[in-house]
């Protein structure tokens, strides 16, 4: 996404608003630091952030999970078949 200096944005505001309305979003920055994002009103909302733990209570992990298949894995590393 392109970044535009605040002075340039003030100078070319009409043109930039038309471009944003047409779907060409941009960021306005001051001294190189992004301040705002300009997007059209009909732009789709960003996807909701997925949260850790969304399956809490729906999955059970066996007590021996960290030891499951241990003998088979050790034999693969030891070169035994």
Q: How many domains does the chain have?
A: 1
Paired sense of beta strands 2-5 and 26-30, if any: parallel
Tell me, what's the pLDDT at 39? 92
- pTM attached to this predicted model: 0.54
Q: Tell me the pLDDT tens digit for each residue of 30-47.
A: 999 999 999 998 877 777
Alpha-carbon distance of 77 to 71, in angstroms, equals: 10
Beta strands in the chain (DSSP E): 2-5, 26-30, 33-38
CA neighbor of 25 nearest in space, from 44, 47, 7: 44
State which residues form the domain around 24. 2-38
Query: Which residues of the chain register pLDDT less than 70?
Result: 80-81
Question: Is residue 68 assigned to a domain?
Answer: no
Q: The domain that contains 14 carries what CATH number?
A: 3.40.1620.10
Question: Is residue 77 assigned to a domain?
Answer: no
Question: Is residue 44 assigned to a domain?
Answer: no
């Amino acid at each position: 996404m392109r970044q535009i200096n605040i002075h340039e944005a003030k100078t070319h505001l009409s043109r930039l608003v038309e471009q944003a309305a047409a779907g060409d979003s941009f960021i306005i920055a001051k001294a190189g630091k992004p301040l705002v994002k300009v997007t059209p009103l009909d732009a789709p909302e960003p996807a909701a952030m997925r949260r850790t733990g969304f399956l809490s209570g729906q999955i059970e992990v066996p007590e021996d999970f960290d030891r499951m298949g241990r003998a088979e894995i050790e034999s693969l590393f030891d070169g035994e078949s």
